[in-house]
Amino acid sequence: MTGIHITDIESAINYWRSKAPSTGAALTPSTRALAEVYAVMAFEQRHEIDEANLPEDAMQAWLRWFESTPDTPCIAICSTSQGDDVCKGCGRTFAEVQCWTAMQPAQKRATWRRITQEGTAWRFNKYAERAAEKNDQLGSEHVALRVV
């Protein structure tokens, strides 16, 4: 089975902390379930936990967080359809693109982690820069409109 990385457990904890802040010293059930897993992983110096070994309450809390994340890294520029083994747009392999809808959540997160760490896909550079430039342009237009 696919492992769930400790950074995903941490992100899920932060998601739940923002959704349902603790009152006093008590953690909410979802936060507690994930925090217990996180503590054991940190103590044992493990970076991943097999999804089959995640307690049911922690798995349900993690899946609820997962549902709040973007499903696909696709930016609608798929070079695998042109014969590339790895998509220049999103960084997924041909097999990952083809099987994405059938992949389990932990498999999708592992793919997201890999492509984010690599950072070579256009979604992380060329198009991210263009999106930032567009936002800057829109921001300056809003300022100009307010001044007039």
> Does residue 22 surpass a pLDDT of 90?
no
Residues 147 and 77 in one domain: yes
Residues 21 and 46 in one domain: yes
Residues 76 and 59 in one domain: no
One-character DSSP codes across 33-51 = HHHHHHHHHHHTT-SEEEG
Residues 78 and 145 in one domain: yes
Q: Are 61 and 13 in contact (CB under 8 A)?
A: no
Query: Pick from 69, 88, 120: which residue ends a domain?
Result: 69
CA distance 54 to 134: 42
Query: Which of 1 and 143 is assigned the larger pLDDT?
Result: 1
Q: What is the CA 66 to chain-centroid distance, rounded?
A: 8
> Does residue 106 surpass a pLDDT of 70?
yes
**The length of the chain, given as a count of residues:** 148
Can you read off the two tokens belonging to residue 119?
């950072």
Residues 87 and 20 in one domain: no
Can you read off the two tokens belonging to residue 48?
């991943």
Structural domain that includes position 131: 72-148
Residues 141 and 105 in one domain: yes
Average of per-residue pLDDT across 80-88: 93
Residues 100 and 147 in one domain: yes
Query: Pick from 69, 97, 121: which residue ends a domain?
Result: 69
3-state secondary structure of 140: helix
From the CB of residue 73, how many other CB atoms can be counted at a distance below 10 Å?
Answer: 21
Average of per-residue pLDDT across 47-53: 94
> Does residue 104 surpass a pLDDT of 50?
yes
Residues 95 and 24 in one domain: no
pLDDT tens-digit readout, 4-17 = 999 999 999 999 99
User: Would you state the pLDDT for residue 147?
Assistant: 43
Half-sphere exposure of 103 (CA within 13 A, CB side): 18
Domain count, the chain: 2
pLDDT tens-digit readout, 88-100 = 999 999 999 999 9
Place of tokens 């592992």: 110
CA-based nearest residue to 35, from 16, 13, 50, 15: 13
CA distance 17 to 69: 16
Residues 127 and 95 in one domain: yes
- Percentage with pLDDT > 90 across the chain: 71
User: Would you state the pLDDT for residue 148?
Assistant: 40
Query: Pick from 32, 47, 69: which residue ends a domain?
Result: 69
Residues 58 and 93 in one domain: no
pLDDT tier at 125 (50, 70, 90 boundaries)? confident
Residues 78 and 65 in one domain: no
Query: Which of 126 and 102 is assigned the larger pLDDT?
Result: 102
